[in-house]
Chains A and B, each alone.
Chain A
Amino acid sequence: MSTLRILVPVKRVIDYAVKPRVNKSQTAVEIAGVKHSMNPFDELSVEESVRLREKHTPKTVEDILAISIGPPKAADTLRTAMAMGCDRSIHVEVPEKDEMLEPLQVAKVLKEVVEKEGRNLVILGKQSIDDDSSQTGQMLAGLLGWGQACGASEVVLDGEYLKVTKEVDGGTEVVKGKLPMVVTTDLRLNEPRYASLPNIMKAKKKKLEKKKLEDFQVRAENRLKNLKVTEPPPRQGGGKVDNVDGLISKLKELGAL
């Protein structure tokens, strides 16, 4: 049984229950004064890392390192990750602004952290619910030349191998890869725990290392220029009908039946 040194990248995003609004100048989505939380898929990554430790002998998981690349408040997200069970964290602080770092830049930072910190398993969310790109994990695996298993709904550690059930179009697919590996989480993977108050208190004492983007060989300029951000064309409800016959005749009128 090999020992795992896990890296869990987490992102601070607008809370999933908030309806995002485009700003007046149509350059981005309004983020000031809006509730933020940990990206839901990243909660699953943290939970899975902690469960791997709980499922195996304590020595199996050597340590769980959380990382976030984001504005000063991303530190709160890292505290949450540590309250859920991560051992320590790194905060790569970038100024708060409309444009976020792109997945390729994030993947490049993560690659350096993986190498410096001797990680052999990275568990990421399959997508962030703000940018919806679904790229970072795959890019990181590509940069490192590691195996990848994306959209995991089950992760089983078997010696040097990970057996991962992935959600794919039409069902599931099972792959088996030798560590080191990159895994991205699907919503089906687990049910993240709530951080208890004692654990939140303990998390305040855990190590949170501050870094800057300049500490990594990554250029800050984005490859994609946001020309504009707009609201989607609004859809008008067409009103209600009284009964099933009304429904059928309206659908026929609309040409849908």
Chain B
Amino acid sequence: MNTSTLVRHTLRASGRRVTTCRPYVGTQFSRRLASTLALFEQRDGKLQSSAQNVVTAAKKLGNPVVGFVAGKAAKEVAEQAAKIEGVDKVVYVANEAYEKGLPESYAPLVAENAADDVSHIVSMHSAFGKNVMPRLAAILDVQQVSDVISIESADTFVRPIYAGNAIATVQSSDPKKLLTIRGTAFGNAPAGSGAAEIVEGKDSKHQGSVEWVEENLTLSDRPDLDTASKVVSGGRGLKDKENFEKIMIPLADSIGAAIGASRAAVDSGFADNSLQVGQTGKVVAPELYLSVGISGAIQHLAGMKDSKVIAAINKDPDAPIFQVADVGLVADLFKAVPELTEKLKK
């Protein structure tokens, strides 16, 4: 008895519904084989939490969800992924060549594993997704749909355009649909109680002409900007890097928030580029977004206007940020923020 049979057997014995079998009964041939391939990201053998957003989106498409992961310790990652609620099967390719997710080899690998029965391929609209998915789309001759914020049906998707100033509803006529999704628009599928079948994928040992040299990632104990429930964000008003750190770090620590920045702050070297919130940076949607010394240009608003509560501190009462802020304080940030930090600590 192999692993997958064993899992199903155990599930039956425990009286749980075996979801992998359900869609195959009593439907048309074309439907009964259809499935959604969900690309999961991993780093050093650890499944990234974005997989839970991808599964939530993939489930909305109606077909069984097949996770896909490749890398050095892909089997271990597949075991973590198999536990996510709603995943029916996980395909893994354990090969160090795919460890860094280089699109030249990763895209053909996914194409090889996306057999005719795959109706949709879903990935996060992250650096990984943005690199791999369009290349895969070109290989499969599909027009990908980027940064999907809502799935209306199996072929109709909603996405922001023009820095979120317009929302487009598009219908795809492609035989396979490729989507990258905005994580914050889809909830987290619960991890921990699923028991999907795990199978080894095909691997024709794809090679690309580009090699990975090194990476330089900002490591911090603070919550991840993408997934933090609270974000404090600083802009040009902080004047320099020293002030940015002196003012924003204690504020973030006082409420356990992640730190973000406007493009002006990043361009002026106050903060690392990876902290940029906006159309061309990160898109966040936390419970609380507290902006400090940010005027609120449309490119910045594109990255944060779906936050549940927006608060702003700015000395200019006419700053556009106050048009979207649920609560605004017109004040000199150099006085107001330290006072706020002190009071929040209590």
Contacts and interface: CB of A to CB of B under 8 A. Distances in A.
B322 A226 contact: no
A16 to B, nearest CB: 7
A35 to B, nearest CB: 14
B102 interface: yes
Contacts of B139: 142
Contacts of B230: 256
A187 interface: yes
A224 to B, nearest CB: 4
Interface in A193-225: 222-225
Interface in A232-257: 232, 235, 237-248, 250-251, 254-257
B32 interface: no
Interface residues of A, dominant DSSP: mixed
B2 interface: no
Interface residues of A, number: 82
B91 interface: no
B29 interface: no
A141 interface: yes
Contacts of B326: 237-238, 250, 254
Nearest to A249: B327
A40 to B, nearest CB: 9
Contacts of A16: 299
B229 to A, nearest CB: 10
A123 B164 CA distance: 26
Given A20-B166, A131-B161, A147-B209, A251 B327 contact: yes
B166 A230 contact: yes
A171 B274 contact: yes
Contacts of B287: 255-256
A147 B208 contact: yes
A131 B162 CA distance: 6
B172 A176 contact: no
A16 B133 CA distance: 26
A154 B325 CA distance: 36
Interface string B187-220: 0000000000000000000001111111111100
Interface string B266-293: 0100001110000110100001100000
Identify the interface centre among B135, B138, B163: most chain A CB within 10 Å of its CB.
B138
Given A163-B213, A173-B212, A20 B162 contact: yes
B131 A135 contact: no
Given A29-B161, A104-B137, A224-B170, 7 more contacts: A147-B209, A170-B218, A175-B102, A225-B173, A237-B322, A248-B340, A250-B326
10 contacts: A130-B162, A147-B209, A170-B218, A173-B100, A224-B145, A225-B170, A226-B168, A240-B330, A255-B287, A257-B288
Interface of B: 100, 102-104, 107, 126-128, 130-131, 133-139, 141-147, 156, 160-174, 208-218, 226, 230, 255, 263, 267, 272-274, 279-280, 282, 287-288, 298-299, 305, 308-311, 313, 317, 322-331, 336, 339-340, 343-344
Sorted nearest first, the 3 A-B pairs with minimum C-beta distance are: A142-B138, A138-B134, A177-B210
Interface of A: 14, 16, 19-20, 22, 29, 102-104, 107, 126-127, 129-143, 146-151, 153, 163, 166-178, 181, 186-188, 222-232, 235, 237-248, 250-251, 254-257
